[in-house]
């Protein structure tokens, strides 16, 4: 019983970690796109 609980908690942490990683990646990508667009705007 305790092992199942431990595994489910570990699985939950894993899902949260993946979600956070994906969110950070998306935000970073957005920032990068914004930086690139502003850079091209400045260089024009």
What is the reported pLDDT for 39?
81
Q: What is the pLDDT of residues 17-37, one digit of tens each?
A: 999 999 999 999 999 998 888
In the chain, where does DSSP find H-type helix? 2-43
Alpha carbon distance 34, 16 (integer Å): 27
CA angle (18, 3, 7) in 5-degree steps: 10
Q: Is the pTM of this model over 0.75?
A: no
Q: Tell me the C-alpha distance between 15 and 26, whole Å.
A: 16
């Amino acid at each position: 019983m305790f092992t199942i609980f431990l595994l489910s908690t570990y699985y939950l942490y894993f899902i949260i970690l993946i979600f956070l990683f994906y969110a950070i990646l998306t935000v970073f990508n957005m920032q990068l796109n914004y930086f690139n667009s502003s850079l091209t705007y400045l260089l024009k």
